[in-house]
């Protein structure tokens, strides 16, 4: 029984993310590390799909402009949220409780949780669908699509159990590799079709204001989550750096890199244009 208690105590220490108390100074990290984590959140399937749709509806030139302006707006929006996080070092849940009181915070946090659950559900469904299509194309697995969604979600939850520390270490390695991979995909796509052919399009399906709104709407979850990340920042300056690096550069670059292959192959699904390029075999 004592060994079980010791094991549970060690597990609690590993998974302790100060959910109801301030993050201590000893657990803080640099703004660049938090920024990399934000970039990792930006490089998701919804962002890649949205970037491809922007490119197909605006052309590459105006799509890049919309991404940059949308990224700037996201950065400006996230700075106040980031400062709240670093000043209080509390989670969004606890910040809302301090502002609205214990009872007033309950309906707000309920709505907050439902919105984030919906965002996660969309991401999980797209991820599961991508794995399902890949398995159909390159393996003999006959699992239904929903099982791939459950499996991918389980993997994400297993990583999240160990909180910021595990995700931070993963981001330091994975995010630069993801960015390099997206750059490589865009480079190969440019060899398939010259950039001049889709720099502009004859008839734009949406106007610039709608495109900027789409960028902000797609990536707004990064702003919503900012206090939960910036509470690990060492200083206010670090939190501002994370806001512009993660929510500005990260959101813009992920969308811009997704535009090139989407325009080159007239395909929004990342796995499909990667298959055309021979990168999934």
State the pLDDT at residue 103. Answer: 87
Query: Residue 224: CA atoms inside 13 Å, Cβ hemisphere, count?
Result: 18
For residue range 7-58, list pLDDT tens digits in order: 444 544 444 566 677 888 888 888 888 888 888 878 877 788 889 999 989 9
Query: Residue 195: CA atoms inside 13 Å, Cβ hemisphere, count?
Result: 9
- Residue 249 near residue 68, CB atoms below 8 Å: no
Percent of the chain with pLDDT over 90: 19
CA angle 257, 262, 265 (to 5 degrees): 130
Radius of gyration from C-alpha coordinates of the chain: 20
Statement: the pTM of the whole predicted model exceeds 0.85:
no
State the pLDDT at residue 84. Answer: 92
State the pLDDT at residue 47. Answer: 84
Where does the pLDDT of residue 281 fall: very low under 50, low under 70, confident under 90, or very high at 90 and above?
Answer: low
- Kindly give, in sequence order, each residue whose CB lies less than 8 Å from that of residue 11, ignoring residues fewer than 6 positions away: none
Backbone region of residue 213 per phi and psi (left: phi > 0; alpha: psi in -120 to 50; beta: other values): alpha
Report CA-CA distances (Å) from 268 to 49, 171, 257, 273, 274: 6, 25, 12, 8, 11
Number of H helices, E strands in the chain: 12, 0
What is the DSSP code (8-state) at residue 29? B
C-alpha closest to that of 120 among 207, 224, 259:
224
For residue range 179-203, list pLDDT tens digits in order: 888 888 888 888 887 777 778 777 7
Report CA-CA distances (Å) from 113 to 44, 88, 110, 121: 20, 21, 5, 12
- Residue 258 near residue 48, CB atoms below 8 Å: yes
């Amino acid at each position: 029984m004592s060994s079980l208690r010791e094991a549970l105590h060690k597990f609690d220490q590993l998974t302790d993310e100060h959910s109801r108390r301030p993050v201590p100074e000893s657990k803080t990290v640099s703004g660049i590390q938090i920024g990399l984590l934000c970039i990792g959140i930006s490089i998701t399937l919804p962002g890649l799909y949205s970037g491809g749709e922007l490119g197909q509806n605006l052309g590459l030139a105006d799509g890049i402009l919309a991404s940059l302006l949308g990224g700037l707006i996201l950065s400006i929006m996230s700075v106040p949220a980031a400062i709240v996080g670093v000043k209080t070092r509390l989670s969004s849940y606890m910040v809302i409780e301090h502002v609205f009181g214990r009872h007033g915070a309950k309906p707000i946090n309920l709505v907050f949780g439902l919105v984030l659950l919906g965002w996660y559900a969309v991401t999980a469904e797209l991820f599961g669908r991508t794995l399902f299509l890949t398995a159909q194309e390159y393996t003999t697995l006959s699992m239904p699509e929903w099982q791939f969604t459950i499996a991918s979600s389980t993997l994400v939850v297993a990583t999240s159990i160990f909180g910021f520390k595990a995700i931070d270490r993963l981001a330091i390695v994975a995010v630069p590799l993801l960015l390099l991979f997206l750059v490589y995909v865009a480079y190969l796509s440019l060899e398939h079709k010259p950039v001049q052919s889709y720099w502009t399009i004859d008839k734009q399906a949406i106007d610039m204001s709608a495109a900027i709104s789409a960028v902000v709407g797609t990536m707004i979850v990064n702003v919503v989550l900012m206090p939960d990340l910036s509470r690990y920042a060492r200083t206010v300056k670090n939190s501002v750096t994370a806001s512009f690096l993660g929510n500005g550069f990260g959101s813009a670059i992920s969308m811009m890199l997704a535009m090139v292959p989407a325009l080159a192959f007239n395909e929004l699904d990342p796995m499909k244009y990667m298959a055309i390029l021979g990168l999934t075999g």
